[in-house]
Amino acid sequence: MDSTDSTSRLRMVAGKHNPLLKQLRKAFAESALTEDDCLAIEGLRVVEEAIRSGLKFAAVFFAESADALAQRLLPQLGAQVDCITVPDTLLKAALPSEAPQGVAALVKVRMHTLHQALAAPVPLLLVAAGLQDPGNLGTLIRSAEAFGASALLLTQGTVSAYNAKVVRSAAGSVFRLPLLNLALEDAMTELRAHGVKLVATSSHRGKPVCEADLSAPIAIFIGNEGAGLPKALVERMDEAVLVPHTEQVESLNAAVAGSIVLYEASRQRAAAQIAQSSVKP
């Protein structure tokens, strides 16, 4: 497709009351999906990750000054995608970042259920219980995908997975990893009903993570960055694990600790698969 063909796909929107632009602005402001289950995203890398992940685009917005971005992205977008040019000031006003790159989009997210996540051969779930830093949640979403988690559950008090900083930190994993919003009590009841072991992460108490059995169906609970998991909740878990570290360090970052536990669970599962295959006749 040459540049003339690409440019002809763009339509100009000059007013802030355009319905799609209003959806984009509202989704960013509320860190929520639109009524049509579309997620607002911005930036070249994030948009290209959404394309690579096979998501359906409802609309793509380009700043007037971002012609080079339009020429790069338009050939990657389906012919049915609404591609819009917006005055720079109007697009910037709709976006949360201080230095926008000149491209944003509304993409349809894939919806998932806990039942689907629990249908994995050996479920590995991460539960964010009160995690509030967007960077930490984004990092954990990325780690959860990297280490083969079945899903990430978000309970009350946790930052929205659709926060723009979360999406950026997750580096594309937010488009592929099943993300589920559940009340904590409902999540625990459902997990126990399916025989999933509930594991708390702790900074100072519990079994060293390398000594814990993480090869069975498990749900790893990560708490608030400052307070961790409430003591009453930890006492209801089947096991608490910790990542040993030097005494000079008071505690590990929540995303770092969660990633280490996920890695150890992945390592144990891989070792168990190798052991099983070696005993087959």
Residue 239: phi, psi to the nearest 5?
-160, 150
End-to-end Cα, the chain, rounded Å: 55
Strands 124-128 and 197-202: unpaired
The torsion angle over the Cα atoms of residues 250, 253, 259 and 263, rounded to 10 degrees, is -20
Q: Residue 20 is encoded by which pair of tokens?
A: 């799609």
pLDDT at 251: 77
**Cross-strand bridge partners of residue 179:** 152
Q: Residue 186 is encoded by which pair of tokens?
A: 């409902």
Tell me how far apart the alpha carbons of residues 178 and 176 are, in angstroms, rounded to a whole number.
6
- Cβ proximity of 1 and 75 under 8 Å: yes
Q: Which domains, from first to last, does the chain contain?
A: 3-108 (3.30.1330.30), 114-279 (3.40.1280.10)
Each of the 281 residues of the chain gets a pLDDT tens digit; together they read 444 455 678 999 988 889 999 999 999 999 999 999 999 999 999 999 999 999 999 999 999 999 999 999 999 998 899 999 999 999 999 999 888 999 999 999 999 999 999 999 999 999 999 999 999 999 999 999 999 999 999 999 999 999 999 999 999 999 999 999 999 999 999 999 999 999 999 877 889 999 999 999 999 999 998 888 999 999 999 999 998 887 777 778 899 999 999 999 999 999 988 887 776 66
